[in-house]
Structure 1
């Protein structure tokens, strides 16, 4: 698509800026729609906002997979999930009133975290298993899709008929309807759809630029995907999460991150389907498992933090946030050293 390295870098930078700009607007519109539709912050973050903020990942990963770049595709989506979890640690730093996981406590977010651990284990099992495929698709791919859909059912049930409730404290911020934006509901939906289209297109442009950058700089697809494109395509999650926190929509902020990572498992399934060389799981380098294992480790750490509900940590940062930031830094060092 791009004829020179300079053009690719410029396109990559512009696409990144577009994704960040659209993401900041998404949180505002999503908060309004969550209230107006009656879904609430948690369910709207899971079912709609998560899918929209994942569009850059979806477009970028599928583009790389269809172009027979398995390492670039998988490192992008796996690296994005790890980056998204780091964003919760950053969000905890931004929210100074208390530990974010304490203030945004809900049974829905706990169920999401548990679901994410289950989903993350499935592609890792496929990578470690013998090279088996049917019509070029690994049997674990439809399992991922079925597990995701059943998991959403469990999340919806947990939200509508919770069997336990978090203890309310002065620092707990419940999901309450806020002030609506100017204009009607139709205008809000149109804005939401338009922003979704813009972020998706920007994600595709981003990956096209990344391919040229990887080819002409000599950097590995693993490094380009796991670091540069992963952080760029994940920027909507960071922007929407910080924007939601500033609007005091804490449940939306947390559910968006976990919901996005769960949705990204469908991105992995789509990459396996779109990959022309058979099952994508068996054509990637072993280092790709690092991001998946690290994401499981960080998700489990956040899950413990949500159960423990520490009100204040050192510097008003929860112990789980400090741990996931440390784990990510170590994982990033390993990936950079490997390629």
Structure 2
């Protein structure tokens, strides 16, 4: 169906899907904040698990659809490229929050722990690429391991939220998680959750449209699938993270803002599991190229910088933002430049 459409129509469809993702992402932030208060789970846990997974739903559709079509590089780079883009979005959010360095004000142990879990998850695909090409029912064992580690990370994050073994030092700039009037654990959250699930379905549909447009761009313009995946579909499907992060900051839900980004990144690693299941020509880890692995290394580097920033908790750096935010933006800009040169050579 999409291969019969004119390029201008394809771009309009892609732009329309991007707008849907933006609007839906904004609505999901308010619901997630209220669900965090009513369930008593806290902004960091709900942001890292529920909001992170939900805002990544459109990207899931892109990777799975691309894998079904045999486009291994597009499926892989869409998920991994989204991790780098979303981490850069957090630096943009730090610019928006003018009172202090965002990583300082939103001190939360759960977010630091999630960064560690994310680094473990990103290391697993590297091991899979360098290991022998084996498969169980057509799926590499590393894909199953990603799900196990992710589930452990979610459970451990919830436990840390309930029984933390250390607390961040409270300063004048630290913003605590405070529920709004009426949003307490005494009030049920079932209708909020149902509305949240509906918005997730809308994101999935928009993601499917984005995947089809991205595939057509690769074929018609003869652009590198890795470039389209990491810098086009990944960025577009990551827009909910940018919108929800800025919206959360405007609501004063700073832990939700950071937790949503890190949780979305953690969930994005499961794109590889979904892609490996959809890719029927063998292990997807052995069907990707150096450009895809480049974004994997970029994601690991940016996550490490973010985690160090969360631990160091600098109050203010260059331009009243954290030094880690400056470094993150520089790394992402450099990665884009390197990818563009590689794709053109």
TM-score of the two chains, using structure 1 as the length reference: 0.97
Which of 170, 177, 180 does residue 179 from structure 2 map onto?
177
* Residue in structure 1 matched with residue 195 of structure 2 by the alignment: 191
User: Residues of 1 paired with 2:303 and 2:189: CA distance?
Assistant: 35
Tell me the SS of whatever aligns to 2:269. Answer: helix
User: Residues of 1 paired with 2:48 and 2:312: CA distance?
Assistant: 23
Pairing of 1:16-35 with structure 2 (within 5 A): 16-35=18-37
User: Residues of 2 paired with 1:146 and 1:192: CA distance?
Assistant: 25
1:43 to partner: Cα distance:
1.5
* Residue in structure 2 matched with residue 246 of structure 1 by the alignment: 250
- Cα gap change, 1:36 to 1:330, in 2 (>3 Å): same
State the Cα deviation string for residues 152-194 of structure 1 (Å, max 9, x = none): 222112111101000000000011102459x984442332122
State the Cα deviation string for residues 112-159 of structure 1 (Å, max 9, x = none): 011111111101111222322233211211111111111222211211
* Residue in structure 2 matched with residue 316 of structure 1 by the alignment: 320
User: Residues of 2 paired with 1:85 and 1:129: CA distance?
Assistant: 28
Residue 292 of structure 2 is aligned to residue 296 of structure 1: no
Residue 222 of structure 2 is aligned to residue 218 of structure 1: yes
* Residue in structure 2 matched with residue 56 of structure 1 by the alignment: 58
* Residue in structure 2 matched with residue 83 of structure 1 by the alignment: 85
User: Residues of 1 paired with 2:28 and 2:316: CA distance?
Assistant: 30
* Residue in structure 1 matched with residue 159 of structure 2 by the alignment: 157
User: Residues of 1 paired with 2:265 and 2:189: CA distance?
Assistant: 28
Greater alpha carbon shift after TM alignment, 153-162 vs 128-137: 128-137
User: Residues of 2 paired with 1:189 and 1:143: CA distance?
Assistant: 29
1:77 to partner: Cα distance:
0.7
Tell me the SS of whatever aligns to 2:290. Answer: coil
User: Residues of 1 paired with 2:300 and 2:20: CA distance?
Assistant: 30
User: Residues of 2 paired with 1:193 and 1:138: CA distance?
Assistant: 30
* Residue in structure 2 matched with residue 104 of structure 1 by the alignment: 106
State the Cα deviation string for residues 241-297 of structure 1 (Å, max 9, x = none): 000000000000001111111111222111111111110010111111111111111
User: Residues of 2 paired with 1:102 and 1:230: CA distance?
Assistant: 28
User: Residues of 2 paired with 1:185 and 1:158: CA distance?
Assistant: 23
CA contact (8 A) 2:74 2:226 kept: yes
Q: Which runs of 5+ in 2 are unaligned?
A: none
CA contact (8 A) 2:80 2:269 kept: no
1:42 to partner: Cα distance:
1.3
* Residue in structure 2 matched with residue 13 of structure 1 by the alignment: 15
1:27 to partner: Cα distance:
0.6
State the Cα deviation string for residues 75-128 of structure 1 (Å, max 9, x = none): 111110110100110010000000000001111111001111111110111122
CA contact (8 A) 2:20 2:203 kept: yes
User: Residues of 1 paired with 2:331 and 2:182: CA distance?
Assistant: 39
User: Residues of 2 paired with 1:220 and 1:144: CA distance?
Assistant: 27
CA contact (8 A) 2:38 2:188 kept: no
Which of 91, 94, 99 does residue 92 from structure 1 map onto?
94
Q: Aligned residues, how many?
A: 338
Tell me the SS of whatever aligns to 1:287. Answer: helix
CA contact (8 A) 1:32 1:180 kept: no
User: Residues of 2 paired with 1:99 and 1:180: CA distance?
Assistant: 30
User: Residues of 2 paired with 1:307 and 1:328: CA distance?
Assistant: 21
1:213 to partner: Cα distance:
1.6
CA contact (8 A) 1:62 1:274 kept: yes
Note the aligned Cα RMSD (angstroms). Answer: 1.4
Residue 21 of structure 2 is aligned to residue 41 of structure 1: no
